Amino acid sequence: MTLQPVRVATGGEGEEGRLVFAGEKLVALLVKLSHQQEELAGRWFFEAGFGRLDGPLHPTFENLADAEAWILQRLAATGEA
Amino acid sequence: MHQRLNSSDRLGNFPEQSRVVRKLESIAELSEKEKQALLDLPVSVRNVAADQDIVCDKDRPSHSCLVLDGFVCRYKLLDGGMRQIMSFQTPGDMPDLQSLFLRVMDHSIGTLTPSKLAFVPHDAVRDLLRRYPNLVEAFWRDTLIDAAIFREWMVGLGRREAYGRVAHLMCELLMRLRAVGLANGYSYELPLTQAELADALGLSTVHVNRVLKELRLDGLVVFKGRHLVIQDWEGLKEAGEFDPTYLHVEPQVAA
């Protein structure tokens, strides 16, 4: 899995984000929550998932490693990885 | 909430009874006799903390509950632990009227805030309805409006943008709370957390937070503590495509 930095048009001025690739395929977009998100500020938000990761689940994570682990686990559970 | 209920009190002994009467009067015309019969309903009143189940999926309740104070919701839990809130019940509402005729609960009902609830034995409700056919119509109308609210929520969950969903809910709650005297002009207490709003609107907490900020930046609403103040009612209605017809909150003349 590779992560590519990106700016995302959420939260006004644009938040720091990561495009998450599994091989060459884009599978998710993570956004680092700004101070505007109060108690969630600084956490990584699962903004969008694609393919098997598309759905109503939008957790937040303490750090990118936790986010990656969750994404890998979800991909494995759905037979994509 | 599975303790034995002793319905030794009557509804009329509690100051919040006026909300129950106002709620029904906002959708049906009641005679003095009918109002008196409502107030004479035997009840067991409980103060219930926030986030407590009142009745659970698969329960077979013997009482229906009236919300005297607080916010209550109907919800279902999914296997992954996600919760979908299907409706909010506010003071004056009777969230499990259905259990009178549908014996097994097909969803759960729980408090969201500290609440004051009156439990009425099913037998007493049945007896009331046998004696006062006009109250049957009023309760039936209430159930139909309940269904109309579900339809509106379905449209919102399926087809409205997050911004419109939140705006629509704010409009709906103003109308419903105003009907029972709990709105002050265009302001009312909205004691729900962003997570609870998210569970009701099918959004993430993060999205709810963003939308609340956008609504504020657009000058539609502002929060003063736990109170929501609608600053631009026309704008909020437009944002939520809100048409209050489905709430039928005006005295109806019996046909």
pLDDT the model gives residue B253: 38
* The domain over range B152-247 is classified in CATH as 2.170.190.11: no
Per-residue pLDDT reduced to its tens digit, A29-73? 999 998 888 888 899 999 999 999 998 999 999 999 999 999 999
Determine the structural domain holding residue A20 and report its residue range. 2-77
Q: What percent of chain B has pLDDT over 90?
A: 91
Q: Name every chain B residue with its beta carbon within 8 A of the beta carbon of A38.
A: 209
Per-residue pLDDT reduced to its tens digit, B186-213? 999 999 999 999 999 999 999 999 999 9
Asked if the model's pLDDT at residue B254 lies above 50, the reply is no
Q: How many domains does chain A have?
A: 1
Residue B163, classed as helix, strand or coil, is: helix
Size of interface A-B (CB pairs under 8 A): 22
Inter-chain residue contact A60 with B206, CB threshold 8 Å = yes
* pLDDT-derived band at B80, boundaries 50, 70, 90: confident
Asked if the model's pLDDT at residue B92 lies above 70, the reply is yes
Q: Which CATH architecture has domain B9-147?
A: Sandwich (2.60)
Quote the ipTM score. 0.90
Per-residue pLDDT reduced to its tens digit, B149-181? 999 999 999 999 999 999 999 999 999 999 999
* CA A55/CA A57 separation, integer angstroms: 6
pLDDT the model gives residue A60: 95
Inter-chain residue contact A57 with B82, CB threshold 8 Å = yes
Bridge partner list, B43: B9
Inter-chain residue contact B202 with A56, CB threshold 8 Å = yes
* CA A65/CA A50 separation, integer angstroms: 19
Q: Could you state, in order of their start, the residue ranges of all structural domains in chain B? A: 9-147, 152-247
CB nearest to B210's CB, from A10, A57, A60? A10
* CA B227/CA B229 separation, integer angstroms: 6
- Smallest CA–CA separation between B183 and chain A, in Å? 28
Chain centroid to Cα B181, Å, comes to: 14
Q: Is A41 on the interface with B (CB under 8 A)?
A: no
pLDDT the model gives residue A35: 82
CB nearest to A33's CB, from B80, B202, B206? B206
CB nearest to A56's CB, from B82, B206, B213? B82
Per-residue pLDDT reduced to its tens digit, A9-33? 986 667 899 999 999 999 999 999 9
* CA B27/CA B139 separation, integer angstroms: 9
Q: Name every chain A residue with its beta carbon within 8 A of the beta carbon of B209.
A: 36-38, 40
Q: Is B82 on the interface with A (CB under 8 A)?
A: yes
pLDDT the model gives residue A12: 65
Per-residue pLDDT reduced to its tens digit, B38-62? 999 999 999 999 999 999 999 999 9
Q: What is the mean pLDDT of chain B?
A: 93
pLDDT the model gives residue B8: 81
pLDDT the model gives residue B1: 53
Bridge partner list, A46: A30
Compute the average pLDDT of residues B118-142.
Answer: 96
Cβ-proximal residues to B56 (8 Å cutoff; 6+ apart), any chain: B105, B108
Inter-chain residue contact B213 with A10, CB threshold 8 Å = no
Q: Is A7 on the interface with B (CB under 8 A)?
A: no
Asked if the model's pLDDT at residue A81 lies above 60, the reply is no
Cβ-proximal residues to A41 (8 Å cutoff; 6+ apart), any chain: A33, A34, A35
